Amino acid sequence: MPEARSRQLPLPLQQPAPQGLAGFIAQGNEPVIAAAKHWAQGSGEPYLYVHGAVASGKSHLLRCTADEAWRQGRQVVYLALDMKGLSPAVLDNLEHGDGVLLDALQARIGTDDWERALFNLYNRLRDRGTPLLIAARPPSGGLGVHLPDLASRLASGASFNLKPLDDEGRAALLRAGAAQRGLDLADSVVRYILSRCSRDPGSLIQLLDGIDAATLAEHRQPSIRSIGRLLEQIQHANAPDPDYRDHH
């Protein structure tokens, strides 16, 4: 299916509601999942650094870890640093909760005010004993940090490389997520999804949320035809605005 995979669709759906770490498909990532579970319980390493390629599932892991902590009554903060409009002030006072999860760290490295704010946050968290979990694409040594003291702090804890799922793991993720939602995905439907959609864990879970909503509306289990209609709607939503294109 090389042609279909070359046109895989991004999914502009809302972020999925995480389901804790119980349903996270490890597939070679057992050490980082175990460390994340201990972190969520407040009994593990106080600082963890997770790195991995695009679409390896880092954001999904952090959201599931945050949900795991919330389920145990721990007040943790998840913050995606690649969100638009953020200023370094967003890091103020985060040390007063039970833990902080910073996603997409690479988005704020290389800017002096952000690096200084990150350095100060790290120190405040360490001084209060508040756990920190960071995710970024490169290992800490490959971030290109300008501030030497921040570089040394980021390299001071346990580091894990999150390996992306293969097709077997992605299929297992789809089936597990479908079961949580009361959906029945036939093998042919799973293959269809994997051949047509973005295959990172977060996008697959978002698609399941879209399938779940469509299934509730149609009062029937998902089929290739119904998923095809959903993907057509997604493709239409992603189409550029011709008026915008003509005038910009």
Token pair in block for residue 222? 């998902």
Q: Among candidates 137, 123, 159, which has minimal Cα distance to 35? A: 159
Single pTM value for the model: 0.76
H/E run at residue 205? helix 201-218
Beta-carbon contacts of residue 88 (< 8 Å; ≥ 6 apart): 113, 114, 116, 117, 118
Q: What is the pLDDT of residues 81-122, one digit of tens each?
A: 999 999 999 999 999 999 999 999 999 999 999 999 999 999
Q: What is the pLDDT of residues 195-206, one digit of tens each?
A: 887 777 877 887
Average pLDDT over all residues of the chain: 85
pLDDT band at 186 (very low <50, low <70, confident <90, very high): confident
